[in-house]
Structure 1
Amino acid sequence: MNKFNNSHTRPISPHITIYRMQMSMILSILHRLSGMAVFGGASIITWWLILCVYSDFDRVIVDIFYNLWFQALIYLTIFTTCFHLCTGIRHLIWDTGYGFSIKYINISGWIAVALSIIVFYMCINNF
C-alpha cells in the first residue's frame, strides 16, 4: 500500500483544495463572518455613542462622525446587518424543513443577496 501512495501524488483524504466553491458554501461562510462584523461594528458604534453622551469633547466627537473612515464603518455595518438579516431569514426557512433541494438552495441564496442589497439601498436612502 505504501508503494501505491508514493507513486500517486494525491491526498489520502478529501482536502479543501479539491472542492469547488458553491453558492451555499460561500453564503454560509459570509453569514458567519457578517455575524461577527455586525457585533464588532455595533460595539464600536455603541462605544462612540457613549463617548458622545459622557465626553466634554463634543467637537472632536462630531469631527469623528464626519470622518470618511467612520462613515464607511457605519455603512459597512448597515450592509452586514442587512446581509445577516436576509441570510438569517433563509436559515429560518430551512429550520421549518423546507428548501433543501439544490435548486432551491441556489435560488434562495441569490434572493438573499439581492434582498440584502435592496434593503441596504433603502436604509441608506432614509439615513
Structure 2
Amino acid sequence: MTKVISSLRYSKEHEWVQQLEGNRVRIGISDYAQKALGDIVFVENPAIDDEVTVNESMGTIESVKAVSELYSPVSGTVVTVNEELEGAPETINEHPFEAGWLVEVEMSNPEELDSLLKEDEYQAFTNEGEE
C-alpha cells in the first residue's frame, strides 16, 4: 500500500506539496512515485532563484530504471534546494516525505494549490493506475 499523508496536496505527476509559512511550499515526490521509479541514483533540481511554472519541468530524477521529468505543481521562485540529495539521492526512496524533499518555492499564485489533489483524491488516482 502506498503511503499518503493527509496534510499534503498532490499533483497527477506524483509530486507532493506541503504548505509552510506564508506563500512558501515544500515539494517532493510521492511514495507511489519513488516505488515506481525504483532505486534513485541522481536528482537534478532547479537552482535557488529559478522561476518554476505549474505543470512545467523543473528538473529530472534518475533511477536505475529511467530518467523522469520533475514537474512543478505550483508557480513561483525556488528559495531552497535540498542539497543533501546531491550526495545521497537514495534518501528519496528511504524518506520521500521527510528528508527526501526536493525544493521550497515561494508561490506567485497560491490559488494553484486548490487544483491539487487531496489525500483521498490522490489515493483514488493512484489506485486507478494499479488496476
TM range (shorter): under 0.3
Which structure shows the bigger proportion of residues in strand conformation? 2
Which structure shows the bigger proportion of residues in helix conformation? 1
The higher radius of gyration belongs to 1
